[in-house]
Structure 1
Amino acid sequence: MFGLREASCFPRVLVGVNVGLALVDGIIAFLAFYQLIRIHSRNSQLGWTRQKVFHLLIGSSNLGCLIYFVLTLFAACKGWQCCSNSCGFSLMALPEILFFAAFLLLLSFWVDLCHQADDEDEEDEGSFREALVEKTFSKPNSLDRDSYRNCFPLRFVHIGSRQRIVILVTVLVFVIMIASAVIIWIGMGKNPIDSALVARVYVDLFAIVILLLGGALACYGLLLCLRMRNVRSERASSEMWKVACLAVVSILCFTSSSFVALLTDIPMLYDWHQQRMNDVYTSLLLILYYFVGSSIPSALVLWIVRELPPSITANIREEPSTITFVSDSSTTLQHAQSWTAAMNLRNQVQISRASPI
């Protein structure tokens, strides 16, 4: 039977489950950031590609879950009141928003592939022209520009229209989360605001959004598989299996976690004073909500995008120390090498855009 626990710490079973989930999230976060560093060291000239963004979002999400599980255990044992209200709510919600952003971004790429439009060609041409301008033309201030990029390595790349929608939706959800946390914090005082009700409404709405996201990934994944089935190539077959696995895992894992959030109070376990907990039942729901609903999809995405891209060697420019005569043939050779580098860069960008992952 369920019993309201007034003790300061969780039962041993729940402590073990929280520690296990924290270890899993820590391993996933470490692998994501480690692979992100390796990828960026090989093609830093490409800026923030989708592969890097996926690693960053998934790594940050799992790192946030790790912090949440650890602080929840300490807060329950030490009696920290803040972590049972607005602070705990924010620690619970922020990793979920990052996780949601990663798979919403994946959905936007699938939508782009299913609805091919003229703007894709314009984006490709724009990226190609940008690469040609950067690689082919050497102006006197190129050394200053290179030194500036060494100090500020971030590059602003072209963002598609659907990816802008992903950013806007993510920012909107984040603003709603901050507003809910503020209302919960205000509700801690003597006023008619029900903090638990505010958190409940946010959790239910977010669960519905995740459920819709899983359904959308399943639908567009099916459309992509039907389209790639007609392409007779080894690469298309491999990509089709990746899309199929992601679509099936997304609908199953997101559906299970959404129903756990809608039917139970597992997402609000940070408010341990108000939770009715049964050791085994709550442990199973925790595993179903966090491990099945978050860790498995995150690990699958990391496994699919694990391949390292081909390295891009930057053009080495030496500062002129003496006045020399340069023949026309050497100048032509230099422009030919720059053109070749630009073409290689364009090919990598096009390969990245063509892949559904």
Structure 2
Amino acid sequence: MRRDPEGLLVAMASSIPSPSLNHKAKDWWEELNRSKSWQDGVFYALAALYAAIAIVALVQLIRIHRRVRDYGWTTQKVFHLLNFLVCAVRASVFLFRRPAQHVGPHILQSFLLDLPGLLFFSTYTLLVLFWAEIFYQALSLPTENLRPSFLIINTAIYVFQIAIWLIQWWDPMLVWDIFSRVFFAGVSFAGALGFLLYGGRLFLMLRRFPIESKGRRKKLREVGCVTAICFTCFTIRSVVVAWSAFDKKAEIDVLYHPILNFLYFLLVEILPSALVLYILRKLPAKRATSTAYKAIR
């Protein structure tokens, strides 16, 4: 059979995307990012999704409170309250995202855009605290230092972040913006490690539990699923925020990256919140004696 090297080269060349196609795709992406209709549409969609989750969290909080009214503010109630607050604030900010971009001074803008992320961290690390208490109690280890440690760590994070905002306000240099993002990426990574450490340890402990029961299997699935979801979302957030600190094209929570905004918040907050609320939808028993519903003091 006679070979046709020229025909082969022509076929190979035709299979390579032309520069004009790449240029058109790039122009389309830039045009989409600059489109005010796309920007507003994405922000309104995010506001609607956050509002829906806020309503679900509030309804669940009311149902739990009516079921265990006598137990005060339990860990479960605080978790749903914080979930409601985070999503309500996010929904409000995205509803007025364009005016929020021009709020002054800059420290107020940073407060509006970044504070919900810190609240999200506190909300979900509350689950880590809860699991750590269960794990320590199961091993007959002291738990009195866990809750103060949780409060101290969270307080230190908020104080440090506020200090960064004040420094940015006083000296608005790019290096402080990078430092702020790297700090938040580190906080998110610490949250991921917390879920991996205590969620993973509790999961393994439940697997080794000698008594087989429906409740054990259900709790095993619950801990395993929530651990996997939260570890994944905090890891993604850590990587994306760290990346955006050094690459302007990867910036999130800005007007000119609507699709990236939508994907980012969908993956790191909206889907995890919806899935966790669904997994933890079961109401506590009316006369629970478990430490799961012990009032927070």
Amino acid across the alignment from 2:122? A
Amino acid across the alignment from 2:228? V
Amino acid across the alignment from 2:158? F
- Give distance in 2, aligned partners of 1:46 and 1:35: 16
Q: TM-score, normalised by structure 2?
A: 0.77
Q: TM-score, normalised by structure 1?
A: 0.65
Q: Quick check: which one's helix share is greater?
A: 2
Deviations 1:136-178 (A, max 9, x none): xxxxxxxxxxxxxxxxxxxxxxxx4212211122222222222
Corresponding residue for residue 193 of structure 2 = 215
| Residue of 79, 97, 113 corresponding to 1:54 | 79
Are residues 1:253 and 2:223 paired? no
Corresponding residue for residue 224 of structure 2 = 244
Are residues 1:227 and 2:205 paired? yes
Are residues 1:92 and 2:67 paired? no
Q: What is the number of equivalent residue pairs in this alignment?
A: 257
- Give distance in 2, aligned partners of 1:202 and 1:2: 32
Are residues 1:114 and 2:135 paired? yes
| Residue of 153, 156, 176 corresponding to 1:169 | 153
Q: 1:209 to 1:49 in 2, by over 3 A?
A: same
Equivalent position SS for 1:185:
helix
Amino acid across the alignment from 2:218? S
Equivalent position SS for 2:290:
helix
Amino acid across the alignment from 1:227? M
- Give distance in 2, aligned partners of 1:25 and 1:226: 33
Q: 1:65 to 1:20 in 2, by over 3 A?
A: same
Corresponding residue for residue 319 of structure 1 = none
- Give distance in 2, aligned partners of 1:269 and 1:24: 16
- Give distance in 1, aligned partners of 2:202 and 2:72: 27
Q: 1:2 to 1:185 in 2, by over 3 A?
A: farther
Are residues 1:205 and 2:180 paired? no
| Identical residues among aligned pairs (%) | 27
Deviations 1:77-135 (A, max 9, x none): xxx3417x211110122111111112222112222333333435xxxxxxxxxxxxxxx
**Aligned residue runs from structure 1 range 251-290, under 5 A:** 251-264=231-244, 269-270=253-254, 277=256, 282-290=257-265
Q: Is the 8 A contact 2:100 2:109 kept in 1?
A: no
Q: Is the 8 A contact 1:10 1:73 kept in 2?
A: no
Deviations 1:249-286 (A, max 9, x none): 1222222222111112566645x5xxxx4xxxx33421
Equivalent position SS for 1:109:
helix
Equivalent position SS for 1:82:
coil
Amino acid across the alignment from 1:224? L
Task: Structure 1: state its 5+ residue gaps.
Answer: 121-159, 187-192, 312-343
Corresponding residue for residue 166 of structure 2 = 182
Runs of 4+ in structure 1 off by over 6 angstroms are: none
Corresponding residue for residue 194 of structure 1 = 172
Q: Is the 8 A contact 1:214 1:254 kept in 2?
A: yes
Equivalent position SS for 1:167:
helix
- Give distance in 2, aligned partners of 1:249 and 1:269: 22
Are residues 1:306 and 2:281 paired? yes
Q: 1:2 to 1:184 in 2, by over 3 A?
A: farther
Q: Is the 8 A contact 1:36 1:55 kept in 2?
A: yes
Q: Which structure has the bigger radius of gyration?
A: 1
Corresponding residue for residue 82 of structure 1 = 104
How far off its partner does 1:2 sit? 8.4
Q: Is the 8 A contact 1:183 1:195 kept in 2?
A: no
Q: 1:181 to 1:258 in 2, by over 3 A?
A: same
How far off its partner does 1:180 sit? 2.4
TM-align CA RMSD:
2.6
- Give distance in 2, aligned partners of 1:66 and 1:267: 20
Equivalent position SS for 1:117:
coil
How far off its partner does 1:294 sit? 1.1
Corresponding residue for residue 293 of structure 1 = 268
**Aligned residue runs from structure 1 range 147-158, under 5 A:** none
Q: 1:185 to 1:67 in 2, by over 3 A?
A: farther
Task: Structure 2: state its 5+ residue gaps.
Answer: 1-25
How far off its partner does 1:204 sit? 1.4
Q: 1:164 to 1:267 in 2, by over 3 A?
A: farther
